[in-house]
Amino acid sequence: MPPLPSTPLPGFNPRVVCYFQTYHDNGEYVSLLPLITNTSGATHVILSAIHINWDPDNMTLNDDPPDHSKYTQLWDEAMVLQDSGIKVMCMLGGAAKGSFARLDYSESRTDVPLARFETYYAPFRDFIRAHNLDGVDLDIEEEMSLPGVVHLIDRLKADFGRNFIITLAPVATALMPGRPHLSGFDYRLLEAARGNSISWYNAQFYNGWGGLHNTAAYDEIMRNGWRPEKVVAGMLTNPRHGGSGYVPLEVTAAVISVLMERYPNFGGVMGWEYWSSYPQVENSWVWPFCMTLCMGMRRLRDAAIVVNMGRSLSSINMNPR
């Protein structure tokens, strides 16, 4: 894929994406409403993670059915977020394998009948409809064929329309030439085949798959021909949220500032995850707030001011979770 020119897109604003998986902390629900009440700047919330299990009628959100009573407040708040302009999506897959193996259908596969795909896909489709979700994030961390993921994207678009958001969450090396990753297909070929149906890629720059301690990994992806507006830089928001690769906020802010200057259409940032985010774990909305200000200011000096502002909030009990 040859390098593509990066010229400013009219009206394009970088995204601030919050993944949300830890819904309860010591038995208490972790509310999303501070994202609204504190004008955090978050643009998208991705609810994690939906698993399609061996029993198609036993689809789960983490360890429980999505309609379990423990999620009642989550679904109520999701509607409030949507009414406030924040898009609410769900993540399918992740580290727990099996969901995409069950959805890996293509016409060329004689060993997998279409009926099998429909059996596993239908409950997932009905779940999206029931909760009026704005989109799906495909986190494919297992082998899947290129025709299989194309078929899944086509079905989602056919069922939910052109405005339905479809994103993927590859590890960052999946967008680099000749580097190992987890999905089993070439993302450049997927972009060539269905780029018009994919809104962006939530690239994971952690756990050894590329870092955000400097701009090198993101720059390598850009040299591989990707458009910056389609590559969102993913980071850990707390060192205990992933295996490795947490980068302190003051470093991240400086790197994001450089990327904003270097790529006028920088796609934005995503954080894993919303719960217990630095710089103030009791007020997780501060992380998207800081990211929003960093990307709005664009300069290293201003980015440093943002980090200090976020830290100063830690001494103030501002609308905690």
Which pLDDT tens digit goes with each residue over 145-183? 999 999 999 999 999 999 999 999 999 999 998 877 889
Q: Which helix (H) or strand (E) holds 48?
A: strand 44-51
Closest by alpha carbon to 147, among 196, 92, 94, 184?
184
Confidence band for 312, pLDDT divided at 50, 70 and 90: low
**Is the confidence at residue 2, as pLDDT, over 60?**
no
What percentage of the chain has pLDDT greater than the value 70? 90
Sign of CA dihedral 120, 56, 48, 133: positive
Cβ neighbourhood burial of 137 (10 Å; 0-12, 13-18, 19+) = buried
In order of 130, 154, 216, 289, the CA distances from 53 in angstroms are 19, 22, 38, 36
Average pLDDT over every residue of 94-112: 87
| CATH of region 15-315, choose from 2.60.40.420, 3.20.20.80, 3.40.50.620, 1.10.10.10 | 3.20.20.80
Closest by alpha carbon to 93, among 169, 186, 193, 173?
169
Interatomic CA distance for residues 181 and 171, integer angstroms: 6
pLDDT in tens, 254-267: 899 999 999 999 99
Considering the entire predicted model, what is its pTM?
0.91
